[in-house]
Structure 1
């Protein structure tokens, strides 16, 4: 059984989804693992991870619009605003999504569905550099 761990940086463009599927697969290729489990962990409280459709960009737009409605940027709504008016909405959006994914690896590839991609979901308005930890266990 082999284990490998690495950290990747993801530069976001601000609020929205940034696909990282090819980065994950590229790293798995380097490890030579054919069967295993990839754990993906986002080290932030104002960004998260999603597995979502990567074929139709309207899906990403609709997801963004939905989160705008359920966790709007409104200074009268929240007490916490240490880093600005988008701070607390970003924490809420992270709480409603996930910072950890576990994806099986089969025949050296992520076992994603046909239209699935892995995304960092940036919840802050301004561009950020996000740290994501990858841990691969397999053979």
Structure 2
């Protein structure tokens, strides 16, 4: 059965979308706060109210929303994942180094995509939340983050002038 949605009311602003990419340099395992860079991109595209989808285009790094206040949280997260996916297990996939297969496992546990509501042009994060790229490899890497915003534009008046 095919159903159709009713047309949006005439007094609602039109939905728009924007696509972008953010390049993140990492310097070994750990978390890199990308919140400010994402906020800048949302401002550049004049985001209003909508949904931001983030997708990290890699298999040995991940995305997470995590606490940004206590300095102990981030190293504890690294340590916890190291205990869950230790290097010294007899991994079959080891061609790229002893940190590679554990990095794949950590990425599977933490994920590569996030969906975050946007209100008035800003991510609707909690007071102590930030968005992080979580690097799981030892060496320096360049990680590509795809951004997709779907929603209204800041400052766009509704057709009725409200």
Q: TM-score if structure 1 supplies the norm length?
A: 0.97
Question: Hey, what does 1:100 align to over in structure 2?
Answer: 113
- Superposed, 1:75-90 pairs within 5 Å as 76-90=89-103
Question: What is the aligned residue count?
Answer: 138
For 1:138 and 1:116, locate their aligned partners in 2 and report how far apart those are by CA, in whole Å.
22
The answer to whether the aligner puts 1:114 opposite 2:127 as a matched pair is yes
What 5-or-longer segments of structure 2 have no aligned partner? 1-14, 153-162
Structure with larger RCO (C-alpha < 8 A, sep 6+): 1
Of 78, 83, 86, the residue aligned with 1:64 is 78
Q: Does 1:132 align with 2:145?
A: yes
Where do 4+ consecutive residues of structure 1 move more than 4 Å?
A: none
Query: Residue 3 of structure 2 corresponds to which residue in structure 1?
Result: none
Q: Give the SS at the match of 2:114.
A: strand
Aligned CA RMSD, in angstroms, stands at 0.7
Deviation at 1:20, TM superposition (A): 0.1
Cα drift, residue 57 of structure 1? 1.3
SS of aligned partner of 1:118: strand
Q: Secondary structure at the match of 1:133?
A: strand
TM normalised by structure 2 equals: 0.84
Offset from partner CA, 1:20-62 (integer Å, 9 cap, x none):
0000010001111210100000000000000000111100011
Query: Quick check: which has more Rg, 1 or 2?
Result: 2
In structure 2, C-alpha distance between the alignment counterparts of 1:88 and 1:45, rounded to whole Å: 10
Structure 1 stretches lacking a partner, 5+ long: none
